[in-house]
Amino acid sequence: MIPIAQPVIDQAAVNAISAVLSSGKLAQGEQVKSFEGMFASYCGTKYAVATSNGTNALQLALLASEIEPGDEVITTPFSFVASANSILYCQAKPIFADIDPLTFNIDPKNVERLIGPRTRAILGVHLYGQPFDVNEILSLCSKHNLAFIEDACQAHGAEYHGQRVGSFGIGCFSFYPTKNMTTGEGGMMTTNDTRIAEKASVLRNHGQRERYKHEMLGYNFRMTDIAAAIGITQLARLDEFNAKRIQNANYLSQAIRRINGLISPFVANGIKHVFHQYTIRVTSDYPISRDALKERLQEKGVSSAVHYPIPIHKQPMYERLGYSVTLPEAEKAASQVLSLPIHPSLTQSDLDTIIEALIYE
């Protein structure tokens, strides 16, 4: 079976873990500090604050931006649920702007009319590894004095007009094993703003700047030195991993463009898409349904996945909160998308197996 995701853990990672274990210093320490420095410099930001996962990084970004109960944060309905849940954790209200059908990302055209007196931030998601329209969102943020948060949990190393994501607003990354780089569990918040970085690092560690002096209600969002040591080895190979993902994507797209009823991923101009997911649309012109194709791929030894079958505003939990909006593009995408394996360990023969399984006869 060709898996949908496969972390690449090398001997350098094993050695790094082993060295941390032998040192006896396991919690947030020197390894975390080094990893933060390297990650900030990779993204081109002044600061990076390591966290225990990407969800924490998002919550930290919102808390550091002083998002308070009752505030509104505009975001996308088409993402992993953590993007919007991080807003709920602050007792703030996610407001959903429908997506651009080409990129699956938040469409700036739908954002401005949602900005009201309680709006405090825009939280965009660089979905599948493709940056959203940063310039448009940034100009709305400056015009309306809103915080700008980039959920880059799927977009490590992606670029918008030559600049890496996570460096435009407050960047939030995840190092879950399926992501473009991993630490097992882990996350990172990036920023150029000294005040945000400082507040986030205090909040991450139970609100203490000095040991046992708690200045605010903080959290334990710390990363372990074990995770950071893995992260350092993964960051060193991120560009190589991403290059392989892009190469795999180009190969698949070349074949998929010739298959009637399937739509290969669109890549916007000036964008470096790092293909966390390689997600196609299965339209009604294809001989069988999306779900039937998924079954068929499984039978032919190819795992696939639907990211995401239910848009966030349609999740049972959100419906219970009273969300009843209709967001046609997000809902249509949820019914058509299918992600195929794209990870760096795929062989030439895996890629050909995937293509053959898509050709229906």
Ligand X SMILES: *Cc1c(COP(=O)(O)O)cnc(C)c1O
The residue ranges that bind ligand X (CB under 6 A) are: 53-55, 79-80, 82-83, 125, 151, 153-154, 174, 176, 187
The nearer residue to ligand X, 101 or 177, going by C-beta atoms, is 177
Burial tier of 127 (Cβ tally within 10 Å: 0-12, 13-18, 19+): buried
CB of 57 to ligand X, least distance (A): 8
- From 25, 93, 143, 179, the catalytic residue: 179
| Smallest distance, ligand X to C-beta of residue 59, A | 10
Residue type, 236: A
Compute CA distances 136 → 133, 139, 142, 346, whole Å: 6, 5, 10, 36
Name 337's bridge partners. 281
CA distance 61 to 69: 15
Toward ligand X, which CB reaches closer, 82 or 227? Answer: 82
Are 175 and 184 in contact by the 8 Å Cβ rule? The answer is yes
Choice between 28 and 174, CB closer to ligand X: 174
Q: Is 179 a catalytic residue?
A: yes
- Closer residue to ligand X in complex, CB, 204/286: 204
User: Nearer Cβ to ligand X, position 71 or 150?
Assistant: 150
SS3 assignment for 138-187: HHHHHHHCCEEEEECCCCCCCEECCEECCCCCEEEEECCCCCCCCCCCCE
Select from 49, 46, 52, 111 the least CA-distant residue to 77. 111
- How many CB atoms within 10 Å of residue 106? 31
Q: Which residues are tagged catalytic?
A: 179
